[in-house]
Amino acid sequence: MILIKLFWAFFKIGLFSFGGGYAMIPFIQREIIDINGWLTLEQFMDIIAISQMTPGPIAVNAATFVGYKIAGLLGSVSATCGVAAPSAVIIITLAFLIKKYRSLKWVDRFFLGVRPAVIALIVNAAYSLGKNSITGIKDVFIAVLALLGLYMFKINPILLIVLASFLGILLG
Amino acid sequence: MNEKIPFRKLFFMFWAFFKIGAFTLGGGFAMIPLMKEEFVDKLKWLKEDEFLDIIAVSQCAPGAVAINSSIYIGYRLYGLLGAAIAVLGTVLPSFLIILAVALLYAKIRSMPAVQRAFRGVYPALVVLVMSAAINLWKAAFKNYVDMGIAAICLAALFIFDVHPVFTVLAAGISGVLFDLRKEHGEEGDIG
């Protein structure tokens, strides 16, 4: 049953990849190429490239693409459900437990300590995005315009992304 | 939660996640400014500190951060039904786009305009993600101990390449050890 196989492979990908995004690539690669041989390495590299250009988590993109290639529309539904299923179970359990025990003193303390770390994580994410994407004068120009748009003109983030893509086309 | 199902609000939530899913480029963190805009600033369904907690849990649990955080927010707002609708909203745009890509694969790959558009998007994303960090600053930093924790975490991530999961867990444990709540009361706010 190819649908069950797809579901299970992506279930494992969802379950064992921590940190999201690019941290998932080795897990995805192992399941899709090494174990099941569903894609060639070249096709896999293309998926990574496509994922960088299309919205959404890499794991979901890979699940949809591989599922479709292997078993059509049902395949992509099955693989995508597989990749989301572990998250659903784990997050709902955690959310339930946190809600129940949030008022305990040490849980409260834990989250107070965690918050500054989250800021550090976000700054770090901005840095690594910037390291790879702000490489020339045009990129700096777009970043400065985005900064002005965001803070001086209060442009909505989604509109900002759309405008930036037009700017990218114009500047070539 | 068991009384009447608030269809209007569920639809708003679905639409918010759909928009977020459609514009989350460049990995899970790019969606943080979008989620904050929708749920904290616009709809005001979550407070800033709750939002930070959700990001922390989503980052530490296995799975894609975008999926984790949408399930958490959906569950937190409208229970299991909320979680299901939230994850559907987040996943649907990339699902549809990748299906289209799988069909038109060869053509899209060689379109230079598409590539140029994305060269423009990424510098703007850097600004957006950075602005999310600055906006959430006040909810996270109440005193100098917090700033110390953030500085140490940044150093751990930047210089020593420590895994984000360990960084978050270590920061939480330091919170348990140092009782930041007491510091908050006595030192007063510096945000």
Angle in degrees, CA A105, B132, A143, rounded to 5:
160
A73 to chain B: which residues are within 8 Å by CB? 99
| Interface contact A122-B28, CB threshold 8 A | no
| Same-domain pairing of A73 and A152 | no
State residue B27's pLDDT score: 65
- For A104, name the nearest residue in chain B, comparing CA atoms only: B176
Token pair of A138 as six digits: 């045009």
Average pLDDT over residues B75-101: 92
Q: Taking all residues of chain B, what is their mean pLDDT, rounded to a whole number?
A: 83
In sequence order, which residues have a C-beta less than 8 Å from that of residue A132 and are 6 or more positions away?
A: B122
Q: How far is B106 from chain A (nearest CA, A)?
A: 10
Q: Residue B76 is part of which domain span?
A: 7-107
| Same-domain pairing of A80 and A140 | no
What percentage of chain B exceeds 90 in pLDDT? 31
Angle between helices B112-140 and B48-60 (to 10 degrees): 120
CA atoms within 13 A on the CB side of A30: 9
Please, which pLDDT band fits residue B190 given cuts at 50, 70 and 90? very low
| Same-domain pairing of A111 and A69 | no
| Same-domain pairing of A12 and A64 | yes
| Interface contact B175-A163, CB threshold 8 A | no
What percentage of chain B exceeds 70 in pLDDT? 86
| Same-domain pairing of A143 and A88 | no
In a domain, B148, yes or no: no
Convert the pLDDT of each residue in A129-146 to its tens digit: 888 788 889 999 999 999
**What 3 state SS string does chain A have?**
CHHHHHHHHHHHHHHHCECCHHHHHHHHHHHHHHHCCCCCHHHHHHHHHHHHHCCCCHHHHHHHHHHHHHHHHHHHHHHHHHHHHHHHHHHHHHHHHHHHHCCCHHHHHHHHHHHHHHHHHHHHHHHHHHHHHCCCHHHHHHHHHHHHHHHCCCCCHHHHHHHHHHHHHHHC
Nearest to B129 among A58, A111, A125 (CB): A125
Q: How far is A41 from chain B (nearest CA, A)?
A: 16
| Same-domain pairing of A139 and A70 | no
In a domain, B164, yes or no: no
> What's the number of domains chain A is made of?
3
Please, which pLDDT band fits residue B10 given cuts at 50, 70 and 90? very high
Average pLDDT over residues B4-10: 84
CA atoms within 13 A on the CB side of B72: 30
Interface contact A112, partner B, CB < 8 A: yes
Q: Residue ranges of chain A with pLDDT lower than 70? A: 18-23, 52
Please state, in angstroms and rounded to a whole number, the distance separating the CA atoms of residues A13 and A26: 9
Interface contact B136, partner A, CB < 8 A: yes
Please, which pLDDT band fits residue B89 given cuts at 50, 70 and 90? very high
> What's the number of domains chain B is made of?
1
**Contact status, residue B75 vs residue A92, Cβ threshold 8 Å:** yes
In a domain, B84, yes or no: yes
In a domain, B153, yes or no: no
| Same-domain pairing of A14 and A83 | yes
Would you give the distance in Å from CA A36 to the centre of its chain? 23
Instruction: Residue B14: name the closest of B65, B78, B63 by CA.
Output: B78
The DSSP element (H or E) to which B45 belongs, if any, is none
Which one has a higher pLDDT value, B189 or A33? A33
In a domain, B67, yes or no: yes
* Mean pLDDT comparison of A56-60, A136-140, B3-7, B80-84, highest-scoring range: B80-84
DSSP E strands: which ranges in B44-164?
none
Convert the pLDDT of each residue in B64-74 to its tens digit: 888 999 999 99
A26 to chain B: which residues are within 8 Å by CB? none
Nearest to B71 among A92, A139, A172 (CB): A92
State residue A23's pLDDT score: 64
* Complex prediction ipTM: 0.81
| Same-domain pairing of A13 and A24 | yes
State residue B101's pLDDT score: 82
Torsion of CA A4, A30, B164, A98, to 10 degrees: 20
Q: Residue A125 is part of which domain span?
A: 102-132
| Same-domain pairing of A60 and A119 | no
In a domain, B154, yes or no: no
| Same-domain pairing of A140 and A70 | no
| Same-domain pairing of A93 and A11 | yes
**Contact status, residue A139 vs residue B119, Cβ threshold 8 Å:** yes
In a domain, B140, yes or no: no
**Contact status, residue A71 vs residue A2, Cβ threshold 8 Å:** yes
| Same-domain pairing of A18 and A49 | yes
Interface contact B88, partner A, CB < 8 A: no
In a domain, B177, yes or no: no
Convert the pLDDT of each residue in B13-32 to its tens digit: 999 999 999 988 766 777 88
